Structure 1
C-alpha cells in the first residue's frame, strides 16, 4: 500500500520498521517538530531520525489544522495513514484524505484508557492486563472502532517494558490488518468501561508514601523510565528505578509514612535473603524497599551502593 506514517516517540519506530519490512511504500513520515531536550539541545524525534535513515521524506508541521497543511497531506494520495503516538490532532480533512482513512496503534484495551498515557495509567490503576488495538480513527478522542486487538498481562512490568512489548505487538497487528483490511472489520467500541488516560504530570512522579505500599511500587514501575519516580532527602532528589513491597503482616504499620526504617527491625512475615541490605520506607500501609536508585548526575546503583556514599539513616523522614 501507499502509506503516510505519523508518529513521534520510540514507541512508533518498530511500527514504521514493520511497514517498510512488509514491502509497503511509505511515501512520507509525519512527526512532531524537533524539540529542546534536557540539556538544551534541539533534537529530532525518534521517528524523524529513523525515517531519514530509511530515506523517507519527513514533514514536521506544528499543526494540521490549517488549509495549506491539509492540502499538502491530501496531495500524497495515500491509501492509508498509519498513526502511532503522533501527538497532534488530526482534523476531519486529514482523517478522510487517505482512501482507507487513518489507522491508529493504541496502547490499551479500548475503551479503557483512551487518551495520552494509557500504559502508565494501566499500571497505576493496578490493571491485571493491557494490550494494543488497531483502531479506525474518527474525530473523537480514541473513540473509533477497533479492527484487531492483542492482550498481555502487566505482571510487574515497568512502563518501559510494556511500551516495548506493545509497540512490537502493535507493529505485527498493523501489518496483519494492512495485509487484508476486509478480513478485519471495524467493531464499534462499547460505551461501558470508558476511562481516560490523562497526560502524565511530572509532579506525579514524586513518591507518595501516604499511599499503600502496593500503590507506591506501582508509581515506581509506571514512571520508569520517564519521568522517573523519586523522593527527596537532604535537598537532593533520588530516583527509584525499582522497588519491592516488603512481606509484612496484613495491616502492619511500621512507622510514620515516609520514615526510613532499618530492614533488620521489620517484622517480616517470611524470610528474605536480602534482609539487612539497603533500607525500607514506611508507607500508609506496609513498606517498600528501593532496589535500584540513582542520584543526580550519577549512574544507576543498588540501594546498598547508595548508602556507602550517601547516608540515609533509620529515622530519616522523607
Structure 2
C-alpha cells in the first residue's frame, strides 16, 4: 500500500522500519521541524527524520497542517493510508480524510483510559498495573476514534517510564505490522470506544516534576519512576554548604518513618506515609549513578532533603 508516515521521536522509528521492511511504499514522512539542541544549539533533526533519510524517503516538516497549501501537498501523495505515531501536530479534517483508508494511530494505552499526550508517564504515575498499545482509526476528537487490535502490557512495580516506552515501541511496531496485514485482507475491524473509564493523560509540566515528600510513599515511588528518565523527578539536598538539585531516577519502597523529607539512612527518605529508598540518581551536571556512588561523593549528609 501507499503510506504516509507521521511521527517524530525514537518511539516512532520501529513502526516506520516495520512498514518499510514489510514492503509497503512509504511515499512521504512527516515529522517535526529540526530544533536547536545541545551546547552549540545547532539544529537537530528528529529520530524519524534521520531514519526516513536513511531509507531514502522524502521528508516534510511543516509547522502546521491547517493551511490549504499544506493540505494540498498532503493530498497529492495519493496515499492509501496514513500512519501516525507520536507526531506532535493536530491533523485537521482535510488531512484525516485525504488517505483512501483514513489515518491509523498507534496509541500507548488501552483506550479510553489515558487519552492524550503522556499516556506512558501517567499510567505509571497513577500506579496502574497494566497498560497497552492499540491501533486506532483517527477522527477529529482527542484520541476518541474507534479502536482496532491491541496488546496488553504489564507494568511491573518498579518499571520506569523509559522501560515501558521501550517495550511499547517494540510491541507497537509488531502490532501495526499485523494491522496492515489485516487491512490488506480487508479484515481490520474497529470498535467504538466506550465513554465509561475515560481518563486524560495531560502533558507533563515542569512544575510537577519536583518531589513532594509529604505524599504517601507509594505515590512518591510512582512519581519517580513515571518521570524517569525524562524529565526526572527532583529534590534538593544541602551538600558541602550549598543546595544541590538531584534527580531521582530509580527507587523502591523503603522502611522507617519520620517527618516528610527526613533522611533515615542508606538514602531512605521519609514520606507522608512510609518511606522511599533511592537506588539511582543524577546530580546536576553529572551522569546517572547508583546510591553507593552518590554516597561516596556526597560527604556528610544533612538530616533531611527538600
TM-score (norm 2): 0.94
Corresponding position of 2:123: 122
Residue in structure 1 matching 2:220, options 213, 216, 219? 216
2:294 is aligned with 1:311: no
CA contact (8 A) 2:124 2:161 kept: yes
Corresponding position of 2:27: 27
Distance in 1 between the 2:71 and 2:197 partners?
A: 34
Deviations 1:11-60 (A, max 9, x none): 10111010011111111100011112253332111110111111111100
Distance in 1 between the 2:291 and 2:177 partners?
A: 43
Distance in 2 between the 1:312 and 1:242 partners?
A: 22
- How much does 1:132 deviate? 0.5
CA contact (8 A) 2:133 2:168 kept: yes
Residue in structure 2 matching 1:246, options 247, 254, 259? 254
Q: 1:259 to 1:41 in 2, by over 3 A?
A: farther
Deviations 1:139-195 (A, max 9, x none): 000000011111011113111111111111111111111112232211100010011
Distance in 1 between the 2:37 and 2:245 partners?
A: 20
- How much does 1:312 deviate? 5.2
Corresponding position of 1:301: 289
- How much does 1:294 deviate? 1.3
Corresponding position of 2:181: 179
Which sits farther off after the overlay, 223-232 or 296-305?
296-305
Quote the RMSD (CA, aligned, Å).
1.2
2:280 is aligned with 1:292: yes
Corresponding position of 2:261: 258
Distance in 2 between the 1:299 and 1:46 partners?
A: 23
- How much does 1:311 deviate? 3.0
Residue in structure 1 matching 2:170, options 168, 171, 184? 168
Residue in structure 1 matching 2:232, options 228, 234, 240? 228
CA contact (8 A) 2:255 2:268 kept: no
- How much does 1:314 deviate? 5.0
Distance in 2 between the 1:53 and 1:246 partners?
A: 47
- How much does 1:247 deviate? 4.1
Q: 1:174 to 1:43 in 2, by over 3 A?
A: same
2:75 is aligned with 1:74: yes
CA contact (8 A) 1:240 1:292 kept: yes
- How much does 1:203 deviate? 2.0
- How much does 1:261 deviate? 1.8
CA contact (8 A) 1:104 1:135 kept: yes
- How much does 1:317 deviate? 3.7
Distance in 2 between the 1:34 and 1:314 partners?
A: 44
2:120 is aligned with 1:112: no
CA contact (8 A) 1:207 1:216 kept: yes
Distance in 2 between the 1:160 and 1:176 partners?
A: 25
CA contact (8 A) 1:261 1:314 kept: no
The alignment partner of 1:183 has SS state of coil
Corresponding position of 2:61: 60
Corresponding position of 1:271: none
Which sits farther off after the overlay, 48-57 or 92-101?
48-57
Distance in 2 between the 1:309 and 1:49 partners?
A: 39
Moved over 6 A (4+): none
Structure 2 unaligned runs (5+)? Answer: none
- How much does 1:2 deviate? 0.5
TM-score (norm 1): 0.91
Distance in 2 between the 1:208 and 1:41 partners?
A: 36
Corresponding position of 1:268: none
What is the number of residues matched between the two proteins? 298
